[in-house]
Amino acid sequence: MDRRRLLLTTALASLAGWTANAAEKFDFRKPDERTALPEIKYLDESGNETDLSALQGRVVVLNLWATWCAPCRTEMPSLDRLQAKYPKEEVLVLALSVDRAPAEKVQAFMDEVGAEHLTIGRDPTVKAARLLGAPGLPATIVIDQEGLEVGRLLGIAEWDGPQATALIDELLAG
């Protein structure tokens, strides 16, 4: 999906009601079976190329977002609070920027929203959104310790709320 289509989809999603009120909902979709993810490469916080397989062994909350995405700005603080509840060795919230913004702009966004606990990744190729089938932003995919997709949520969610933390706790308990 190119940047223009992603931007348009995100804008339409905002108009369709994925507003701050939508954050109160937790419309998490689970597939019938956990599924393997495609190979997703991204730049880590040091600018080195890595991929999702490097994160196996812990629960990963993979949030696809962009610096130009208003709903992403609304959602990011709850993701940061979720990460603050769990040690990164057990649960990793990866905020993967899927736009061409340089590292400085991505960090400025995080500073503006007060996010201090997240692991930040960048995908300046914007391939991750397409490979993962994300029709808009924000999109969040929960991955189990074996690297399999548990489910996903499109739009804003309250990631530090009771439904999300129950999901994470269930995955941690096995």
Give residue 19's pLDDT: 41
Query: Hey, what are 53's tokens?
Result: 């397989």
Q: d(Cα 91, Cα 168) in Å, to the nearest integer? A: 8
Can you list the positions of beta strands (E) in 25-134?
A: 35-36, 41-43, 49-51, 59-65, 91-97, 119-122
Rounded to an integer, the average pLDDT of 35-39 is: 96
pTM, 2 dp: 0.87
**Helix then strand then coil, % of the chain, to nearest 5:** 40, 20, 40
Give the residue extent of every domain in the chain. Answer: 3-173
Give residue 14's pLDDT: 44
Q: Is pLDDT of 10 > 90?
A: no
For domain 3-173, give the fold: Glutaredoxin (3.40.30)
pLDDT, the chain, mean: 90
Q: For 41-88, what is each residue's pLDDT tens digit?
A: 999 999 999 999 999 999 999 999 999 999 999 999 999 999 999 999
pLDDT band for 11, please (50, 70, 90 cuts): very low
